[in-house]
Amino acid sequence: MSATDSSAQTQDIAKPKRKSFRMADEAAADCLFERLRLHQQRAPDSAEVARAITARINSRLTSHDKHVRQSTLDKLWNKQSGAIQMLLAILETSRDTATTTYITAILREVLCLKQGKGKKCSANNLARQQCSQHFISINGTQVVIRTMITTHGKRDGNVGTELMLQDLVWILASLAPRDPKFAMKVRMLGCVRTMHLILKGHFTDNKIIFPLLVIMKQLAKNAVTTSILIRDGVVATYERVLVSLGFIPTARLRLCLDAIDYFSKNKVCCMQIVKTGLCSVLLRVFDRWDRYEGRMRLKICAHILQTLQHLCNIKTGRRALCTKKHVQTLHRFCSQCPDEPEFDGLLARVCSVITLCLKHQALPVPVSSPASFNLNPILKGTNASWPCHEDEEEAANSDSKTVNSDLEDEGPDTDIEGIDEFPDMDFDDHELKSESVEEAEKVLLQNTTKSGDSLQSTLWINPNERDLEDLKKYFIYFKEFGSYNKQIRLVKSRSNSRGSILEDFLFPQTSGNRAVTSNLNLSLTTVLGNTDYENVLGPGQTSSFLHHKIHESTSTTSWSSLKIHKDISKYNAFASVYSTISSRVKSVIPFVKVAYPDMMGGQGLDHPEPLNKMERSACRMKLLSCVDRAINPEAYMNETVYDLDQLCSASGNTDSGAQKSFSSESIGLTNTDEQEITKVNNFSSRLAFESRFESGNLRKVIQVGPREYELILMPDVNSTKRHQWFYFEVRNMQQGRPYIFNIVNCEKSDSQFNFGMKPVMYSVKEAVLGRPGWVRAGSDICYYRNSYHYANQKNHNKCYLTVTFNIDFPHTNDVVYIAYHFPFTYSMMMTRIWQWSLQLPSGSYLRAEPLCYSLNNNEIPLLTVSAEDTPSNPIVDREIVFLTARVHPGESNASWVMDGTLGCLLGPSIAAAALRAKYVFKIVPMLNVEGVVNGCHRCGLTNEDLNRRWCKPSPVLHPSIYHTKGLIEYLVRVWKKPPLVYCDYHGHSRKKNVFFYGCAGAESWCSNDRIVPDEPVKYLMLPALMHRISPAFALGSCSFRVERERESTARVTVWRHLGVTRSYTMEASFCGFDRGPFKGFHLNTHHLQSVGSDFCEALNGLNDTATNVDIQLTKDLNGNIVEINIKGADRDNDKVRLRWTASLVRGPIVY
C-alpha cells in the first residue's frame, strides 16, 4: 500500500469521528441550554446551579475548539432559542457575583464585534449586529446599565469586579451606536455621572478607554446629557484624556476629538474649553496635521476645525483664537494645504475660522434700509385709498392692537412681528419653520377648550372660519355662474337636505344676524345686471358698490376691469404697453427707468446650457483672497461706485415717518439703452451700476480691485435681512477683461451656486444684433463665509456669506443686466394679461379683475378662464381648479411656470379647448405684488412671509391672502363645490428639478390625521401624470408629509381647513436638473413654461370619477418615493400602468 493510499484511508476514518464528535457536542450544548431554561422556570433562586450553567457556557465560548465556540454562539444568536432572554433575566435578578461575571463575559462574546478578515468573520459580525438589535428590543440596554451602576457602586478592588466592569463597558459600547434612545436611557437611569466617573478613573487604562470613548461620544450627541456632563466637569476630564493619548493618530484620538466637537455645540462648554486651555491643545494637535496619513488625518482635522468654529460663536472663544500664534498656525495650513479635492472642505473651514475669529467688519451701509414703508396709517385706518377695509371697529380691536404691540415690543434693530432671526437653515420648501409654528400653534391653542381638548383635536375645526354673511360678498367673483340668486338656487338644487345653511342668506333673521357695516368698502369688480343688490349687500351698500361697476365689453368672452389697462390701445407694441404699465406701478423707491430685458419680453435662450463645473483652484484662490482681505484690509481699494442710500437721500426720500409711494405715470418711464450703446464713450476704469427699476435689487457697490467689485444687496422692505434676490444693470465694461463680482451679504448657509448654478445675464448689444435673451453666465463661481457681521445685535456674532463669480462681457461699452434668476415683473404679468385679452380663441371665456389692492394700492389681479357657457356643457357643472403663484417675490421661476400655464389655457390648441370645456380656472398669478415690485426676496411691505399667514390672514395687512382664502372658502361653504385641485407655484433654492409637495393624512404629524382612512390615488394621480408627461418633473423629489411647522402654509391650510384633497405646492428649481433627459443642464424660461403647459395636460388626464383604481407606493429608507404603480380602468377597460423608479442623487456636503 502506498503512502498516498494510507493517508486517504486515515482521512476517511477521521471524518466519521469528527462528525460523531460534533453531533455529541451539539447534543451537549442543547442539554446545557435546556438546563438553563428549566433552572429559570423551576429554581430561579438556586445560585449554584446558575453559576455552574453559566460557567459551562462561558467555558465553551472561550474554548480553543473553533467548532465548540461557533456552535455555542449560533445557539445564543438564535432568537427562537430564547437563550439571551434567559441570561438577561438571570442577570437582572441574580445577586451572585460569579454568576453575574460569567453572564457579562458571555454577552460580551455574543454582542461585541470582532476584528478580522474573511467570510466567516463577516457573517459572525452580521449575526452579532442582528443579535444586538434584538437585545435592545427586549430592554437589554437598561438591564446592562443597572448592572453597571451596581458593579461600579461596589468598588471593592476585587479583580473579578474590575473584569466584570470592563465587560459591561464593552457591551454598552457595542449597543450605544445602535440604540437611538441610548442617551435617554442612561439619563433616566441616573448613569450619566457614573459613566463620567468611570472615564475619570480609567482614562489611562488601555483595556477600557476605547469603549468608554465610544459611550461618551454617544452621550455627547444628546443636548441634555451634554449639559449634565459639562456641569460635572467633563471638559477638564477630556483635556487630561487628550494629553494622555498624545498626538499619535489613532481611533482613540479621533473618538476623543469627535466627542469634544459634539460637546462644543454648548456655549458653556466653549467657555470651559477656553478656561481649561483645551483650545491650545487642540491647535497643537492640528499643527501636526502633516504627520498624519489617510482618512484619519481628514477626520482628526475636521473634528478640530468644527470645534474651533463653535468656539468662534462666543466672544471669549474668538479672543482666545485671535492670538498671533494661533492665527499663524491656521494660516500656515492654508499655505501648505495639499492641492487635492479631499482637502477642499478643510481649507474652507480654516478660512471660515480665520474670518470668524478676526475682528468682524460691519457692512458699510446704514442699519436702516432706504426701502421702508410706514404701516401706521393703514393700521390706524387713515389710509383713504385702502380699498378692502373690513369693519373699522373689528380691525381696530384685532389687527391694530396685535401689530402695534409687537412693534412697540421690538427693539430698534429687530423686524416686525413673527419674523425669524437670521438662521443657518433652509428657507425653502416655502414653508419657514419658526414663523409657521408660532402662528399655527397660537391659533390652534386659542381654540382649545377648557375641558382639556388636545391640540390634535382642534385641528379638525377651522378656527378662523369666516361668517357666512361675510363670505357672500365673494359671489361677484363667480358671475360666470349667474346672479347671486341663481347661484343659491343651483346650490339648493344640488343639495339633498331641505334645511340648507344657505337659507340664512335668502331669509336673514334681523334679530340674530349681524348687520353689514355701512362703511364697508368692497371695491370689487363688475357684476351681472340682474343681481339683487339690495338683498345681498344691504341697503347701505348698493350705491357704494355700484360706484365700482364698469361698462362691460361687447365681447362675451373676454374683458378686463383692471385700471392699469385703462386707455391702452390694442394696437400698441409690447414694449410701449410695458412702459405705460410700468409707469403706473407704485413703488417704495422711485424708479428711473424701465429695464430693457423686461420691456422686450424677458425670455431666455432656448438652447441647453450645462451646469457649471466648479474650478477648485479658482475657488481656493478666492477663499485665500477673502482671508487676506480680512487680515490686511488696507492693501485693497475701497471706492464707492454706487450708493442707493445716497441717491435716495439726494432725491429727498429720507423721511422715515412718511408713507412712501412713488408712481412715474406723470413723467413716463422709458429705456434708452439702445441709444446708449451707440455712443462713443471714453474709456472708464470703473463700471457703472443701476438698479432703480422694477424688481431691481442693489444697494451699494464698492470697487476693491482694478476689476473687482463688492456688491451689497437691499434687504426686504421694512427689514434688515433676507438678501438673496439680485437684479441690476452694468455698463462701461471692456471686452475680453474678466470682472469679479462679490455679493457679500448673502444669508443662507448653502447655495446652489456651489452645485452648478450660474447667474443670468442679458446683453443689450446682443439683443440689437438679433440674439435677444437671458443666458447663464459666469465662471469661477463659489459660495463661502466672509468677515462681514450681521447688523442686528441678536445675531452680532454671525457672519454673512459671499457668492462670487467672474464675467467676461461679450462687448465693449455694452449695457448688461445680471440677475439671480430670470426676472418676471409685475408689469410683465399685467402686460401679458393685456396680450391674452386681445388674442383669445373663439369659444373661450377670460375675465380679468382686481381681487383687491395691495398696501401700496397696486391691483392684485384675479383671472377666470373657461369655455363659454353652452346648453350641452353648462359652466355650472364644471369642476373648479384654483391656482396661485409668487407668494415669495424672489421666486420668479414660479411666474414663468404660471405664464406657461396661462399660455396653454388661452391657446388655440384642441387640448386647450378641451381643458377649458372641462374646468373653470380661478387664478391669482401674483399674490405678493409689493414684494415683486420692490425687489424683495421673501416678504412684502409688512416684513412677513405671506405663506405663513394662511391660518389667520389679516384683511388689512394681508389682503391678497385674506381674499384668496375667502374665494376658496366661498366655493367650499357657499357654492358647495370645493376645488378639484389647488396648486401654489413656488421656486426652490436648494433642490434641482421640478416636483410636488402634497398632503397625505397617513404621513401627517397629527395622529388624528393618520386614523382617518386615506385615498392615495387622489393625491398621487396628478404627480404620476406629471411624471409621465413632463420630462422636467422628478417624482423622486416629491413629498406628501404634513409637518407641524407647515400648518399655516397655503398647501396645508387649504387641505386641512377647506377640505381640498389635491392641495399641492409645485416647486421649480432655480438651478437645473440632476436626472431625466435634461440631466446636467440649467433650467431656462422655456423649460419653466413647458412645465406650466405640462401641468395643464396632466389636469386634462385627471379623472376624478375613476373607479377600480389600485395604487402602490414604494419608498426608500429615507422616505423618498422610489416607485408609484397605478392600475386603473378607463373607458375601454384597458389597464393603465404608470411606473417610474427614481435614482436618488445626493450632493456633496459643503461646510
Paired residues of 996 in beta bridges: 1066
Tell me the helices (H) and strands (E) count for the chain, helix number first: 45, 25
Cβ atoms 1040, 1003 nearer than 8 A: yes
Residue 169 domain-assigned (yes or no): yes
Higher pLDDT, 294 or 949: 949
Q: Based on the fold, state whether residues 243 and 208 are members of the same structural domain.
A: yes
pLDDT of residue 1086: 94
Over residues 154-159, the mean pLDDT reads 69
Cβ atoms 980, 960 nearer than 8 A: no
Residue 787 φ then ψ, to 5°: -100, 5
pLDDT of residue 831: 94
pLDDT of residue 547: 30
pTM to 2 decimal places:
0.76
Q: Based on the fold, state whether residues 213 and 288 are members of the same structural domain.
A: yes
pLDDT at 781 over 70: yes
- What's the mean per-residue pLDDT of the chain? 77
Over residues 122-132, the mean pLDDT reads 74
Over residues 695-709, the mean pLDDT reads 92
pLDDT at 160 over 80: no
Q: Based on the fold, state whether residues 173 and 295 are members of the same structural domain.
A: no
- Confidence tier at 335 by pLDDT (50, 70, 90): confident
pLDDT of residue 98: 83
Over residues 952-956, the mean pLDDT reads 90
Q: What is the DSSP letter of 1081?
A: B
Last residue of a domain, one of 288, 309, 330: 309
Q: Where are the beta strands (DSSP E) in 952-1043?
A: 981-988, 994-997
Largest CA distance in the chain: 127
Residue 279 domain-assigned (yes or no): yes
Higher pLDDT, 551 or 639: 639
Rounded to whole angstroms, the Cα distance separating 337 from 324 reads 20
Residues 206-249 pLDDT 10s: 888 889 999 999 999 988 999 999 998 888 888 888 888 887 88
Residue 853 domain-assigned (yes or no): no
pLDDT at 1091 over 60: yes
Higher pLDDT, 392 or 269: 269
Residue with cell 432725491: 651
Rounded to whole angstroms, the Cα distance separating 630 from 634 reads 9
Over residues 887-895, the mean pLDDT reads 94
Residue 302 domain-assigned (yes or no): yes
Best mean pLDDT range from 339-343, 501-505, 722-726:
722-726
Over residues 714-724, the mean pLDDT reads 87
pLDDT at 860 over 50: yes
pLDDT of residue 1121: 64
Q: Based on the fold, state whether residues 121 and 212 are members of the same structural domain.
A: no
Q: Domain of 131: which CATH number? A: 1.25.10
- Confidence tier at 903 by pLDDT (50, 70, 90): very high
pLDDT at 1136 over 50: no
Rg (CA), the chain: 35
Residues 595-611 pLDDT 10s: 999 999 889 888 899 99
Q: Based on the fold, state whether residues 56 and 135 are members of the same structural domain.
A: yes
Contacts of 278 (CB under 8 A, 6+ apart): 235, 238, 239, 242, 260, 272
Residue 645 domain-assigned (yes or no): no
Q: Based on the fold, state whether residues 45 and 131 are members of the same structural domain.
A: yes
Rounded to whole angstroms, the Cα distance separating 713 from 731 reads 18
Cell numbers of 292, please? 498624519
Residue 1117 domain-assigned (yes or no): no
pLDDT of residue 773: 92
Rounded to whole angstroms, the Cα distance separating 123 from 100 reads 28
Rounded to whole angstroms, the Cα distance separating 68 from 250 reads 34
Rounded to whole angstroms, the Cα distance separating 353 from 321 reads 9
pLDDT at 417 over 50: no
pLDDT at 518 over 50: no
Residues 252-290 pLDDT 10s: 888 988 898 898 888 888 888 888 888 888 888 888 777
pLDDT of residue 916: 93
pLDDT at 161 over 50: yes
Q: Based on the fold, state whether residues 172 and 115 are members of the same structural domain.
A: yes
C-beta atoms surrounding 571 within 10 Å:
7
Residue 862 Cα distances to 320, 566, 848, 851, 920, angstroms = 59, 17, 6, 5, 13
- Confidence tier at 697 by pLDDT (50, 70, 90): very high
pLDDT of residue 362: 80
Contacts of 593 (CB under 8 A, 6+ apart): 669, 670, 671, 672, 690, 692, 693
Cβ atoms 338, 293 nearer than 8 A: no
pLDDT at 961 over 60: yes
Residue 795 domain-assigned (yes or no): no
Cβ atoms 1029, 1073 nearer than 8 A: no
Residue 334 domain-assigned (yes or no): no
pLDDT of residue 1127: 59
Which is the catalytic residue, given 435, 708, 710, 1067?
Answer: 1067
pLDDT of residue 1032: 92
Pairing of strands 558-560, 844-853: parallel
Cβ atoms 287, 325 nearer than 8 A: no
pLDDT at 61 over 60: yes
The 10 Å CB-count burial string (b at 16+, else e) for 303-326 is bbbbbbbbbbebeebbebbeeeeb
Residue 36 CB-half CA count within 13 A: 29
How many folded domains does the chain comprise?
2
pLDDT at 512 over 70: no
Orientation angle between helical segments 83-93 and 47-61, nearest 10 degrees: 130
Last residue of a domain, one of 157, 179, 201: 179
pLDDT of residue 1113: 61
- Confidence tier at 462 by pLDDT (50, 70, 90): low
pLDDT at 486 over 60: yes
Last residue of a domain, one of 309, 344, 366: 309
Q: What is the DSSP letter of 247?
A: T
- Whether residue 441 lies in the annotated active site: no
C-beta atoms surrounding 1090 within 10 Å:
20
pLDDT at 1122 over 60: no
pLDDT of residue 540: 39
Q: Based on the fold, state whether residues 173 and 26 are members of the same structural domain.
A: yes
Higher pLDDT, 23 or 1063: 1063
Per-residue HEC secondary structure of 698-747 comes to CCEEEEEECCEEEEECCCCCCCCCCCCCCEEEEECCCCCCCEEEEEEEEC
Q: Based on the fold, state whether residues 238 and 91 are members of the same structural domain.
A: no
Cβ atoms 707, 739 nearer than 8 A: yes
- Residue 294, domain extent: 182-309
Q: Based on the fold, state whether residues 99 and 166 are members of the same structural domain.
A: yes
Q: Based on the fold, state whether residues 30 and 117 are members of the same structural domain.
A: yes
Q: Based on the fold, state whether residues 143 and 25 are members of the same structural domain.
A: yes
Over residues 638-660, the mean pLDDT reads 73
Q: Which range has the worst mean pLDDT, 6-20, 162-176, 408-422, 1052-1066?
A: 408-422
Of all helices (H) and strands (E), which one includes residue 261? helix 251-263
